[in-house]
Structure 1
């Protein structure tokens, strides 16, 4: 915090600092006796009518009354250097999107609208990178129409927590009544140390997510659409992605594998997904064996960096990947459009 030579705190931010990363201290209990403060770090996404909105790296927006500010300053936009391969959030977003492609997509300016019959939010949400070519409210209305024509809810996938991410857009969506339904962390790590792991389990690799594999995955209700997404045969452009599926066979013939996983190799990147283990077989190293086998195959195909996506509340998966040397790079959030009756047509908030 900024402390003047007199020993008093100072507020060294103004409304002109909107869009910058800031650190502020505020009274946590206004009017209480004694000094009770709360510190907040994030992107200053608005400062209107005496209220600041700061969006944290996890996508949460914090509203602070200007009168409660005790101290504040602009801090460096770039977070501390992370472990793992160097990459921007834009690069990782495009890599992971090619690894899990929609079956239909359309451009709205620089935004990309994606649909896959409702099979996963990842393949049925907008990548709002750059300029949509319209004012925000008009762009959001166009998004709602596009998904409505397909009988799907409208989602935007918005990134936070890295240099240049979309905290401002996240705050603008919240002001318009869009709801953050799920938050996901994007993790990165080197492949070689993962490939060196061996848990002694038989892992079978295949180009195909067959019926047994899909039975263990359990999220393939969209039928042919799901198969196209899983095999990266969606509406994507070059370079072609190389997909491998892994399975640890069950002891009984005809039973689904006890563990599965998937990797999509795209240049230097290997994107892991769909790692599942039968509940009764967990904590036996099967997930590690699957990821290690997929990492070895990805190395053979020329990749050397790995990435994956984990929901922020999936404690077990986060522990697994941390143990394999992966680390969080940034987060993204799926914001869902409000129902028509909830919609604020002024665009100024709820």
Structure 2
């Protein structure tokens, strides 16, 4: 990553194992050609340091393993600036995930130090996973065993929801916990969204039969799904022929989700109308910023939210045991 070390600067390794968990910029020697060295820079969270290898997790979630023998420089750098539009409050990834958890409330929760274990009869990974934040208050292996026991008692797969910047990711790599469900959390100021058209959209405080019929994720867990989608500080449901959506107000923040359009009704502006109707309602209730979760590989959804002004705030992914 150019710019972290100037070409004429003295190369020094100014990081130590005590800096694990901090954001760093490191430089490694990649090759020497005709007496001229070539370097590569990596910026991210220092997740481990041993006698042979230094591991740094980038913002994308990729973990780079750098042999100590080729590490030529390193320093602690400030946290990455969060991209946000006007009217979007400054908030950390952990703080926004706590807000999001209230807007998609699990039927049952239990604290494990700074972690929150959540269960909702298997309806969605988010409502049936551990919200990882801070220290579990015990060694990692013991915490993972406790997680496995808690979810096993409920007949559920033990999932962890892990921020991409968390040092826990590298620890799980070494413990055969499979990574899946890479997700981006995106934010946007609400005021511009209130000018979107909303023709034909009906809003209600509860999900009516048409809304529930259009929501395709309940499966055989209809009761659990209804409890989760209906929960939250101040919930609104949007319904239009062929499209639905949901928003939850929590102070200055509004979560948008469950925006779905029937395949036969796509490219008619229904998703935009749903977002517009919800945005006006939550703005009237005092929210100033919107946020949402979108799977990282969903290019169509990401492009749609790009057009509405949403920017990436942070990423997270899920982990589950390999066996």
Q: TM-score, normalised by structure 1?
A: 0.83
User: Within the alignment, does 1:262 sit opposite 2:266 as a pair?
Assistant: no
In the TM superposition, 1:274-293 aligns within 5 A as: 274-293=258-277
C-alpha change, 1:97 and 1:188, in structure 2 (3 Å) is same
Please give the alpha-carbon distance, in whole angstroms, between the structure 1 residues aligned to 2:272 and 2:7. Answer: 53
Match 1:109 to one of 113, 125, 130: 113
Please give the alpha-carbon distance, in whole angstroms, between the structure 1 residues aligned to 2:223 and 2:77. Answer: 49
Q: Which residue is equivalent to 2:178?
A: 179
In the alignment, structure 1 segments of 5+ residues that lack a partner are 162-166, 233-239, 250-257, 340-350
Q: CA deviation at 1:57?
A: 1.3
After superposition, the CA RMSD in angstroms is 2.2
Off by >6 Å, runs of 4+ in structure 1: 31-34
Please give the alpha-carbon distance, in whole angstroms, between the structure 1 residues aligned to 2:182 and 2:175. Answer: 19
In the TM superposition, 1:121-160 aligns within 5 A as: 121-160=125-164
Please give the alpha-carbon distance, in whole angstroms, between the structure 1 residues aligned to 2:133 and 2:206. Answer: 32
Match 1:13 to one of 12, 15, 31: 15
Deviations 1:11-34 (A, max 9, x none): 443334322212223344x57777
In the TM superposition, 1:1-350 aligns within 5 A as: 1-3=4-6, 9-28=11-30, 35-79=37-81, 82-83=84-85, 84-161=88-165, 167-198=166-197, 201-221=199-219, 222-232=221-231, 241-249=233-241, 258-339=242-323
Q: CA deviation at 1:122?
A: 0.5
Q: TM-score, normalised by structure 2?
A: 0.90
Deviations 1:175-196 (A, max 9, x none): 2221211111111111121011
Please give the alpha-carbon distance, in whole angstroms, between the structure 2 residues aligned to 1:295 and 1:136. Answer: 41
Q: Aligned to 2:126, what secondary structure does the other structure show?
A: coil
C-alpha change, 1:38 and 1:285, in structure 2 (3 Å) is farther
Please give the alpha-carbon distance, in whole angstroms, between the structure 1 residues aligned to 2:136 and 2:126. Answer: 19
C-alpha change, 1:155 and 1:80, in structure 2 (3 Å) is closer
Indicate conservation of the 8 Å contact 2:114/2:132, yes or no: yes
Indicate conservation of the 8 Å contact 1:44/1:55, yes or no: yes
Deviations 1:108-141 (A, max 9, x none): 2332110011111110011122332322211110
Indicate conservation of the 8 Å contact 1:4/1:10, yes or no: no
Please give the alpha-carbon distance, in whole angstroms, between the structure 1 residues aligned to 2:177 and 2:81. Answer: 27
Q: Which residue is equivalent to 1:346?
A: none
C-alpha change, 1:132 and 1:10, in structure 2 (3 Å) is closer
Q: Aligned to 1:143, what secondary structure does the other structure show?
A: helix
